[in-house]
Structure 1
C-alpha cells in the first residue's frame, strides 16, 4: 500500500490516475486549486477503494504555502512514497506574443511553481532515501515550435530540471519519472480539432500508472510520441525553421 500525493489532482489525466491508485487500495492525498472539484474527486476515489482519500486546496503559485501544505499531506498519509505533479495551463501562443506579463505568468505556473514544489519534495525524499517523484510535462518541451513555444519553453525547463534531479537523487535511492504526453483529449484541449494522434485521459493514465510502477525514467504517452518527437528533434534547423509545426 503506497502513500501517494497528487498535485493538480483535478485535471482529467491526474483524476484518472488517482482512480487507478484507489483501485490498488493506496493512501491518496489530492491537491489542486478548486476545493469543490477536489472534494468530488476525493469522494470518488474513496468509493473506488483508496484507504485514505484526503485533500487540500492550494494555488501552486503561492510558493510560500508549499511547505505547510506538503507537511499536511505527509501527516495525513503517514509519509509520501510517491508524488505526482500534474498541474498546468495551456496558454494561447499569440496572446503571449503580445503580452510579456502573460508570458511571465505562464512560465510561473508551468515551470517555476513546479520546480519549487520539486525542490521541497526532493529535500524530503532525499533525507529519507526512498520514494519516487513523477511529473507530467509535455512533448512540447522536446523542441521549440512556433505554435506553442512559450508553453514548450516552460516544459523544457522542467524537463531539464528533472534530468539533473534524477541524477542527484539516484544515489539516495529516489526515482524520478518524466511523463511526456502528446495530444490528450481533455477539457484543456477542448478547442482543438481531434484526430488519430489523440488519446483519452484513461488510456494515458494506464500508461503513466504502469510506468511509475516500473520505475521508468522517461515515458511518452501514448508510446508512439517517442518516435514522432525523435524525428522532430533531429530535423536540421535549416529545414525545421521553414516548416509549420
Structure 2
C-alpha cells in the first residue's frame, strides 16, 4: 500500500531499461519502496538494471514485456499482479524514431506509432483494470510536450504522444472515484542515451529531474505534471499560435 504521503511501496516499470523509469525507481526506493518489477525485453541491460536496484535494498524482479506484442501484455502483467498488490504502474516505454527516415519509410513511422500509442493503450488498459480490481493504485504515463502541438521536426513522434496523452486523460476520467488515479507527465526534451547526438532543445531536462517531478506529483495528487514547470505556460502559448507563425519558427 502507499504510505501516508501517497508514495508507493511497490511499483511496476513498463519499460524496464528506461532511464526515466529507473531514475524514478531509484528515487522511490530511497523513499521507502521495497518491491520493484522491471518489465521489458529480456536482455543483459534489463538484468543489470535489476541488479543496480537490488543494491539499493529493494526486492527487484523482472518480467518479459514487449510493447509491440500486445497479445502477450495480459499474461505479463497478470504474472506481476498475481504476486501481490502493485501501488504504482509507470508506463515508461517509447521510441523517438527518426523523423527524416520515418517520413520516407512509412513502416518505420508505423513502428513508432505502434510502440508509443497502440502498445501503450493496450498495456495501460490492462494495468488500469488490475489496479481497479485491487481497489487502489496509480498509473503514471510518460507523455511529452511534443504532443501538445504538431512540429515539423518531430510530428510523427509528437502525434503518437498526442494520442497517448489524450488516452491517458480520458482513462483518468473513466477511473475517477474508483480509488485508482492516472497522472500524465509531460517532460521537455530529456537528455538520455536515446537522445544522444540530437541537438539540444530549449528547456531540456534530465531523467533525475523528471523523477523528482513524478515524486512531487504523487505527493500532491496531481493529474498533470510538466517538466520543467514553466512549460505549462510555454506550450499554452504555442498551442494557440497561428500556424503561419509556427512555420517561421525553428521548431
* Aligned residues of 1:208 and 1:221 also touching (Cα < 8 A): no
RMSD: 1.6
**1:122-137 pair list within 5 angstroms:** 122-137=128-143
Match of 1:16 in 2: 23
Match of 1:86 in 2: 92
Query: What are the ranges of 5 or more consecutive residues in structure 2 without an aligned counterpart?
Result: 2-8
Counterpart among 204, 212, 215 of residue 198 in structure 1 = 204
Match of 1:53 in 2: 60
What displacement does 1:34 show?
4.4
What displacement does 1:46 show?
1.5
* Aligned residues of 2:91 and 2:120 also touching (Cα < 8 A): yes
**1:104-143 pair list within 5 angstroms:** 104-143=110-149
Distance 1:124-1:195 versus aligned 2 partners, 3 A rule: closer
Check if 1:33 corresponds to 2:41: yes
* Aligned residues of 1:134 and 1:212 also touching (Cα < 8 A): no
Q: Aligned partners of 1:137, 1:129: CA distance in 2, in Å?
A: 25
Residue deviations 1:51-70, cap 9 Å, x none? Answer: x2111232211111111111
Instruction: Give the secondary-structure state (helix, strand or coil) at the position aligned to 1:61.
Output: coil
What displacement does 1:139 show?
0.4
Q: Aligned partners of 2:81, 2:32: CA distance in 1, in Å?
A: 18
What displacement does 1:240 show?
2.5
Match of 2:52 in 1: 44
Match of 2:6 in 1: none
Query: What are the ranges of 5 or more consecutive residues in structure 1 without an aligned counterpart?
Result: none
Q: Aligned partners of 1:132, 1:158: CA distance in 2, in Å?
A: 17
Check if 1:148 corresponds to 2:154: yes
Residue deviations 1:162-181, cap 9 Å, x none? Answer: 11111110021211000111
Instruction: Give the secondary-structure state (helix, strand or coil) at the position aligned to 2:82.
Output: helix
Q: TM-score, normalised by structure 1?
A: 0.93
Counterpart among 149, 160, 167 of residue 166 in structure 2 = 160
What displacement does 1:23 show?
1.5
What displacement does 1:4 show?
0.6
Distance 1:25-1:223 versus aligned 2 partners, 3 A rule: same
Q: Aligned partners of 1:153, 1:65: CA distance in 2, in Å?
A: 25
Aligned length: 243
